Chains A and B, each alone.
Chain A
Amino acid sequence: MGAYDKMVAWLQNYWGEVIYLSLQHLYIVAVSSALAIIVAVPAGIWMSRPRNQRRALAFMQVLNVGQAVPKLALLTLAMTLVGVGAPAAIIALWVATILPITVNTYEGLRAVPPHLLEAAEGLGMTPREILLRVEIPNALAVMFAGLRTALAINVGTAPLAFLVGGGGLGELIFTGIDLNDYGMMLAGAIATAGLAMLVDMLCGLAQRVSVSRGLRLAAS
Chain B
Amino acid sequence: METISFVTSHMDLIVHLLGQHLYIVFIAVGLAIVTGVPLGIVAWQYPRTGRWILACAAILMTIPSAALFGLMIPVLSIWGQGIGVVPAIIALFLYSQLPIIRNTHAAIANVEPALREAALGMGMSAWQRLCKVELPLAMPLIMAGVRVATVINIGIAAIAAYIGAGGLGSLIVRGIAQSDTRQLIAGAVMISVIAIAADYVLAFVQRILTPKGLVKLNSLSMKEATS
Chain A residues with a Cβ under 8 A of chain B? 3, 60, 63-65, 67-74, 76-77, 79-80, 99-100, 103-104, 107, 145-146, 149, 152, 155-160, 163-164, 170, 172-174, 176-177, 182, 185-186, 188-190, 192-193, 196-197, 200
Which chain B residues lie closer than 8 Å to A163 at the CB level?
A: 162, 176
Q: Are the CB atoms of A160 and B223 closer together than 8 Å?
A: no
Q: How many A-B residue pairs have CB under 8 A?
A: 149
Q: Are the CB atoms of B67 and A192 closer together than 8 Å?
A: yes
Complex: chain B residue closest to A172, CB-CB: B70
Which chain A residues lie closer than 8 Å to B184 at the CB level?
A: 76, 79-80
> Does any Cβ of A come within 8 Å of B19's Cβ?
no
List B38-96 residues whose CB lies under 8 Å from chain A: 59, 61-71, 73-75, 77, 83
Which chain A residues lie closer than 8 Å to B196 at the CB level?
A: 65, 68-69
Which chain A residues lie closer than 8 Å to B75 at the CB level?
A: 3
Distance of A160 Cα from B184 Cα, bound (Å): 15
> Does any Cβ of A come within 8 Å of B185's Cβ?
yes
Which chain B residues lie closer than 8 Å to A196 at the CB level?
A: 62-64, 67
Partner of B162, one of A177, A186, A193: A177
Chain B residues with a Cβ under 8 A of chain A? 59, 61-71, 73-75, 77, 83, 151, 154-156, 158-159, 162-163, 169, 172, 175-176, 181, 184-185, 187-189, 191-192, 195-196, 198-199, 221-224, 226-227
Q: Are the CB atoms of B227 and A156 closer together than 8 Å?
A: no
9 residue pairs from A and B, CB less than 8 Å apart: A68-B199, A74-B188, A76-B187, A155-B62, A156-B62, A172-B70, A185-B70, A188-B66, A192-B64
Q: Is the interface of B mostly helix, strand, loop or mixed?
A: helix
Which chain A residues lie closer than 8 Å to B154 at the CB level?
A: 70
Which chain B residues lie closer than 8 Å to A149 at the CB level?
A: 226-227
**Given A73-B191, A146-B227, 7 other A-B residues pairs in contact with their CB atoms under 8 A:** A63-B223, A68-B195, A73-B158, A73-B187, A76-B172, A155-B64, A157-B64
Which chain B residues lie closer than 8 Å to A107 at the CB level?
A: 224
